[in-house]
Amino acid sequence: MTGPPPLTGLHVLEFAGLAPGPFAGLLLADNGASVLRIDRAITNLTHSSSSELPPPTNDLLTRHKSSIAVDLKSASGIALIKFLIPHTDIVIDPFRPGVLEKLGLGPGVFLSLNPRIILGRMTGFRRDGRYKDMAGHDINYIAVSGALAMLGRKGDKPLPPANILGDFAGGGATLFQGILLALLAREKSGKGQVVEANMVDGSAYLVTLPRMLMKTPMWDRPRGENTLDSGCPYYDTYETKDGQYMAVGALEPQFFAELIKGLGLAGRGIEKTRNDRNTWPGLKAAFTRLFLQKSRSEWEKVFDGTDACCTPVLDYRELETDPTREGDQRPAVTLRDTPGLALSEGPLSRDPATGQGPGIEGGSFSGVVLSPGEGGEDTLKEWLGWKRGKDFEVENGGLVRKPSSKL
């Protein structure tokens, strides 16, 4: 019998922002926290008496979240936020350095209102670095961290891995980790604290082993000439006859032996010379020629069930539509007794520890949009028992606290 998700009961205020902050909030929400997003108030549109919701924002990282609209440029809007702070466990600050302080909501203010609060702050560049006052995106942050320089093929320019490494791995997921550490520390001390995360340090930390390997023969050559960066023939991808691809990662001798057996190259002494880099260009050319002789599905029949470390390169279109593939997204980790919430839709008979609950319509392939103000008033009622007209009202499209109300 599974229990509720591990973060159930925690209250989170997430200031609306770009991908890293919302992703940290998504991870909290997927694990049971109640996440309330603070959106920009729009007069006569947000929290209006109309039954129609305002247009949703571009943020798709919204599952399990709700929203209220607040005018952060007004004193009454800031006052509402301050009223919420004593009832909040975690705040996510996605702004550039100094923005929260200019609003009168700096770390000192939050901690004075609630000594147990955890303020998770997400920036791109370091707050104390040479780029701290500059705008940037994922590609810029991983560029100055050193990570981007390692990615790409020989003779080609550095290749950014979309915005996965900076925004999500080095950004949102790292901030989530910091918030969890702060929650653990709060259990011991009873005190909250400020959690600082930035995508430069986050992406650099993820590259810990590769940057150490650069001092060894495994990665001491220019980009694209090393074992793990496409220089090695038995750690690369190869096109198949039907324009698909197979991924090869046969690094260990026993796995390499299985690979060349499947390719029809066994018994030619290749096992003994595979570590000689002078043989790599010829071996890569041979692998390229052989993989083009069969379709991807034919190669799957050859290598499925073996230790050749040779698998198909699957794209999300087929993962979404082919039930024989493992395309149903699950929580990143499984807690057997208190698992997170289900992401993909699935039968009630499935193991609840792989993600409990019915799942989200559209699963992990369709983002859930959230309109400013959507569901937020219900969340305020759930958190505090607040009701419109009694405890708060609408002013210029944003919620404000009624002067006569008490905490």
Write out the catalytic residue numbers.
Answer: 167
Long-range contacts at 101-109 (CB < 8 A, ≥ 24 apart): 103/72, 103/78, 104/78, 105/78, 105/81, 107/194, 109/82
Residue 225 neighbours by CB under 8 Å, 6+ apart: 154, 231
The H-or-E segment that residue 296 falls in is: helix 296-303
For the chain, state the CA radius of gyration. Answer: 26
Distances (CA, A) of 100 to 81, 120, 172: 12, 12, 18
List the one residue out of 196, 38, 14 whose CA is nearest residue 91: 14
Residue 36 neighbours by CB under 8 Å, 6+ apart: 11, 12, 13, 14, 65, 66, 67, 68, 376, 379, 380, 383
List the one residue out of 407, 90, 390 whose CA is nearest residue 399: 390
Spatial separation of the C-alpha atoms in residues 187 and 181, rounded to whole Å: 10
Q: For helices 138-145 and 199-206, what crossing angle results, to 10°?
A: 60
Residue 394 β-bridge partners: 399
What values do phi and psi take at 174, rounded to 5? -70, -40
Spatial separation of the C-alpha atoms in residues 141 and 167, rounded to whole Å: 9
Residue 270 neighbours by CB under 8 Å, 6+ apart: 260, 283
- The total of other beta-carbon atoms located within 10 Å of residue 42's CB is 18
Count of CA atoms in the C-beta half-sphere (13 A) of 93:
25
List the one residue out of 150, 199, 153 whose CA is nearest residue 173: 199
Distances (CA, A) of 315 to 3, 257, 276, 321: 34, 28, 33, 11
